[in-house]
Structure 1
Amino acid sequence: MSISSLTKPTLIVATIALIGSSALADSPDSGFYLKAFGGASLLSESDLAGPLTGTSGFDTGQVFGGAVGYDYAESPFRSELEFAYRTAEADGAAGITGDFASTTLALNGYYDFKPIAGGRLTPFVGAGLAYVTEIDFDVSGGAAPGEYSDTGVFGYQLMAGGAYPVSDRWSITGELRYFDAGSQSLSGPGGTLSADYRSVDIILGTAFRF
């Protein structure tokens, strides 16, 4: 399955909602919630080695995803199972063009601080361990064009932001996120391409509490 087939946020949200509905069927008051989000992904410059060499920059990309979460009663802690898709285009500065993208499953933990701004805004911080289900650099221009990819690697992420309730069940969230999958060895038609994959994401989302 091509990584490009996962770019539609509606597909992501529908999948997460289906999983969440099954999990919630027997426990409507359990503290579960669903979340969908999207925003800008700022992929850092990558030092390339192998069939392509040099330092490639990237234009501002996108991140989309969704999560099923559980907010523990009488506790500032909550946890999430999250799916996310990131993509960014190489800026061509090193003579290299193409799309660098990833899909991840992450287990996140959050800590909610006491509400501020008259009790309407809840700041939070979080961290997560991510399993990279696919990382894919589709090189369209350069010395060795083609698809370079890998699967089954790990990364981590750090989050900070806030949640603003708009009703008893709905809230709007905003966060700044750092994602790091380190240096990856991607297999492709020209051999093994070594590339870094790190991003800073600016995210807006919405959450629905059951």
Structure 2
Amino acid sequence: MSKRRLTTIALAMACAGLGGGAAFAQGAGVYARAYGGLSTLNSTDVSFKPGLPGPPSTDKLSFDSGLLVGAALGYDFEGPWKAEIEYAYRSSDVRRLPVSLAQSGDFASTAIMVNGLYSFGEVGPLRPYVGAGAGFSPELDLDLTSSGPSAPPPSALGNYSRSGRFAYQGIAGAELPLTDRWTGFGEFRVFAIDSPSLRSSSKTLKADYQTIDLLVGVSRRF
């Protein structure tokens, strides 16, 4: 999925929330959320440039479904709108990796996001909502390692990282009230970090970071 398509989906989710729907009143207040789930990192073209003169080599990486965990602190504005600040961690192992680069690896990120959520009110026992978020990645990390002897060692082995890149996401989910204070929820997300070039000593590697996430969690009002 291209970055343009991810951006379109995120904007569509946000605009859908502005379209209306029956709001429900449950009282203003602070809440906290915790969640976990699956993060599927999209395949990406990778461009590797060693610390020597010459053109970069290009190939494609694909990934196994990985782990997503996170938490958020937010405020319910006694109506359809909520705002929150969130911290999330994602990690996926490389499934297909050219042996000229490495034999194994993983691609991980952290993100601090500010999200806006809009609820459509009650639909049976559920409260569906959409949202969008923007923030930055304190750490984006691609580790390329050797799982056995090689001759010669792949030239791209190492830890590549970058920080401070812009991140954005679109959110669609539904809540299920459990008690007066506790709520369960499930979400579908699209998430991306702006086209990072990662660095390792004198080497650089360029790879996109775009995920599709499925998660479940709980929320508590205070």
What range is the shorter-chain TM-score in? 0.7 to 0.9
- Map residues 1-210 of structure 1 onto 2, 5 A cutoff: 31-51=29-49, 53-73=58-78, 75-95=79-99, 96=102, 97-117=104-124, 120-141=125-146, 142-189=154-201, 191-210=203-222
Shift, 1:146, TM fit: 0.5
Question: Which residues of structure 1 form unaligned runs of 5+?
Answer: 1-28
Amino acid at match of 2:85: L
Alignment size in residue pairs: 179
Indicate the structure (1 or 2) with the bigger Cα radius of gyration. 2
Per the TM alignment, residue 190 of structure 1 is displaced from its structure 2 partner at its CA by: 5.4
Q: Distance in 2 between matches of 1:157 and 1:205?
A: 18
Maintained 8 Å contact 1:144/1:190:
no
Tell me, what secondary structure is at the counterpart of 2:195? strand
Q: Tell me the equivalent position of 2:54.
A: none
| Kept after mapping to 1: 8 A contact 2:94/2:105 | yes
Q: Distance in 2 between matches of 1:185 and 1:93?
A: 18
Aligned to 1:57, the other structure's residue is in SS state strand
Residue 123 (structure 1) shift: 0.1
Shift, 1:103, TM fit: 0.5
- Residue 50 of structure 1 and its aligned partner are, at CA, apart by 1.9
Residues 171-203 of structure 1 show CA distances to partners (whole Å, capped at 9, x for unaligned) of: 101000000113210011451110100000001
Structure 2 counterpart of 1:135, one-letter code = L
Q: TM-score, normalised by structure 2?
A: 0.77
Question: In the TM superposition, what whole-angstrom CA distance separates every residue of 1:115-150 from its partner, at most 9, and x where no partner exists?
Answer: 011xx2100000000210000001114531100000
Output the TM-score relative to the length of structure 1.
Answer: 0.81
Deviations 1:18-50 (A, max 9, x none): xxxxxxxxxxx8500010000000000011002
CA distance in 2, matches of 1:184, 1:106: 17
Higher RCO, Cα 8 Å, sep 6+: 2
One-letter code aligned to 1:69 = G
Q: CA deviation at 1:114?
A: 1.4
Q: How far apart, in 2, do the equivalents of 1:130 and 1:43 lie?
A: 19
Measure the CA separation in 1 of the matches of 2:69 and 2:187: 13
Structure 1 moving runs of 4+ over 4 Å:
none
Whole-Å separation in 2 of the counterparts to 1:69 and 1:188: 37
- In 2, Cα distance between equivalents of 1:178 and 1:130: 14
CA shift at 1:92, angstroms? 2.9
Assess if the C-alpha contact under 8 Å between 2:48 and 2:156 holds in 1. Answer: no
Which structure 2 segments of 5+ residues have no match?
1-26, 50-56, 147-153
Q: Residues 165 and 194 of structure 2 are in contact (CA less than 8 Å); yes or no, is this contact kept in structure 1?
A: no
